[in-house]
Structure 1
Amino acid sequence: MSRIIRQLLLIVALPAVLVAVWWYSTEDSQSFYVPPLRTILTTFGTLWTGERLATDVLPSVLRLAGGYLSAVVVGVALGVVIGSYRRVRAVLEPVLEFLRAVPPPVLVPVIMLFAGIGNGMKVVVILSGCVWPILLNTVEGVRAVDGVLSESARSYGITGAARLRHLVLPSAGPQIFAGLRQALSIGIILMVISEMFAASNGLGFDVVQFQRSFAIPEMWSGILLLGLLGFLLSVLFQLVESRALAWYRGLRRSRRSS
């Protein structure tokens, strides 16, 4: 119990210090563009409740979930295929490196031409950015599967779907989750950018509208909400990762103790 309490204190210590510094440094602020944190929090409490959660926050979260989960399916599936076959990797690697180097925000106008300005466009934008860290990390994870384990599986007749499920994916799991973590932060950024380009709702749309109408406390409250959303998604991801890779962490602890 004491270990859990210490971990919680370590987690909240720095945010608490930063909030305290922000509070006291802006307490007497007369700047129109940097209002006191007290004003921002008051605006936050009155603005992001009830109707706005349904009309702006929920659509943003659903777009992020759609794009991110699509990227997980596409990235892991293609990564397994490319990582498993050397010839496929040799043919596709130059193209993948070229596409990976193109910044996803640059593709937003192009995607708008083909997908319109609806939710589909925003999901595709998020997918186009999130898929690369997942794909490339999956490829490297599959390539790094232990040769001895691979030969043992072949000797025992473990092939096809059984080999994929019991050997390839577990062995590449730590690398895949590293890509999933990178993709999550990219997805949040692209969610906001896509909503700033062409949208009628969503957090990115709201922040831009507040800025254009000089509703500065409301703008800051939207930015604060985006930070909280990113933090909550990170905590949720850590819970999923710790459960999925429990065997891997246990193996590392046993190796340290020995």
Structure 2
Amino acid sequence: MTVLTVLIIWEVAARSGILPEVAFPAASAVLVALGGLIFNASFWAAVASTLAAAGVGLLIVTIIAVPLGLAIGRVQFVSKSMTLVIEFLKPIPPVALLPLALLFWGPSPTMKVFLVVMGSLWPLLIQISYGARGVDKTQLDLARSYRFGWTRTVRHILLPTLVPHALVGLRVSASIAIVVAVVAELIGGATGLGQSISLAQNTADLPVMYALIMATGLIGLAVNALFELVGKPLLFWHPSMRVKES
């Protein structure tokens, strides 16, 4: 209902001249352009390019963040030695690294993946380290006393503590990955949705430009829904799921 209300207000404001036509086309024109994108092969190629960069970057982030986060959370020496490095790198926006990435790789997929990794690493890394710190020492001592072994200890003690944190970190990192990929394409000139938005802006095709922006938002919603779908069977036992169901 809220979305429909916003679209109606947008349409009326654009048709009545409250919003300048040179900057805000009517909502109906944007929706028509959005519908036309569905049958546009170049649009789907741009979507695939953006999602590929975000997906590869997220995979690399996972490979880095899981073991490093576990080490930071469980080993005091690693935690103390890495704190300064993380606090130094974490506030640097990926866009600030764009000139460096362009210098090394140009407007290429590698450039996008590098920026995605630098932008989306921190949420997952921090969540994994928090989860590792939250593992109950008493449960670990009990597992050792009963000689659970590594496999049973991981399955029954480590994973139930880490998975909720990991899913939260992955969800945030995935959203950031898409944003960074689009920005890298928009400013850096790499192929993808960002480049398509820039091209539509330069050719003054505003309905298509806004349609592409809306498509980016819809992709974000789809990614969020995917994590919701994956999280339900994995966290059916978690209190947060019981609260949602009630």
TM-score, length-scaled by structure 1? 0.85
Q: Which of 44, 48, 68 pairs up with 2:58? A: 68
**One-letter amino acid of the structure 1 residue matched with residue 28 of structure 2:** R
Change (3 A) 1:170 1:57: same
| Residue pair 2:184, 2:190 contacting (<8 A) in 1 also | no
Q: Which of 207, 224, 227 pairs up with 1:217? A: 207
Q: Which of 19, 37, 56 pairs up with 2:27? A: 37
- Two-structure CA RMSD over aligned residues (Å): 2.2
Structure 2 CA distance for aligned equivalents of residues 159 and 94 of structure 1: 35
| Residue pair 2:68, 2:125 contacting (<8 A) in 1 also | yes
Q: Deviations over 1:187-219 (max 9, x none)?
A: 121011111233353110011111122111111
| Residue pair 2:232, 2:241 contacting (<8 A) in 1 also | no
Structure 2 CA distance for aligned equivalents of residues 155 and 161 of structure 1: 15
Q: Which of 133, 136, 142 pairs up with 1:152? A: 142
Range that drifts further, 205-214 or 21-30: 21-30
Gap regions ≥5 residues in structure 2:
none
Mapping of residues 224-235 of structure 1, within 5 Å? 224-235=214-225
| Residue pair 1:67, 1:127 contacting (<8 A) in 2 also | yes
Gap regions ≥5 residues in structure 1:
1-12
Change (3 A) 1:100 1:165: farther
Q: CA deviation at 1:220?
A: 0.8
Q: Does residue 21 in structure 1 map to residue 19 in structure 2?
A: no
| Residue pair 1:44, 1:218 contacting (<8 A) in 2 also | yes
| Residue pair 2:98, 2:188 contacting (<8 A) in 1 also | no
Q: Which of 236, 244, 247 pairs up with 2:226? A: 236
Count of matched residue positions in the alignment of Structure 1 and Structure 2: 242
Range that drifts further, 194-203 or 76-85: 194-203
Range that drifts further, 134-143 or 158-167: 158-167
| Residue pair 2:57, 2:117 contacting (<8 A) in 1 also | yes
Name the residue aligned to 1:8.
Answer: none
Q: Which of 101, 111, 131 pairs up with 2:121? A: 131
Name the residue aligned to 1:190.
Answer: 180
Q: Does residue 248 in structure 1 map to residue 242 in structure 2?
A: no
Q: CA deviation at 1:48?
A: 4.0
Q: Does residue 53 in structure 1 map to residue 43 in structure 2?
A: yes
Q: Does residue 112 in structure 1 map to residue 99 in structure 2?
A: no
Name the residue aligned to 1:84.
Answer: 74
Q: CA deviation at 1:91?
A: 1.1
**One-letter amino acid of the structure 2 residue matched with residue 217 of structure 1:** P
Change (3 A) 1:186 1:224: same
Instruction: Find the residue that maps to 2:138 and give its secondary structure.
Output: helix
Structure 2 CA distance for aligned equivalents of residues 237 and 250 of structure 1: 14
Change (3 A) 1:103 1:161: farther
Percent identical among aligned pairs is 29
**One-letter amino acid of the structure 2 residue matched with residue 229 of structure 1:** I
Structure 2 CA distance for aligned equivalents of residues 79 and 87 of structure 1: 13
TM-score, length-scaled by structure 2? 0.89
**One-letter amino acid of the structure 2 residue matched with residue 26 of structure 1:** A
Instruction: Find the residue that maps to 2:81 and give its secondary structure.
Output: helix
Structure 2 CA distance for aligned equivalents of residues 124 and 208 of structure 1: 21
Name the residue aligned to 2:84.
Answer: 94
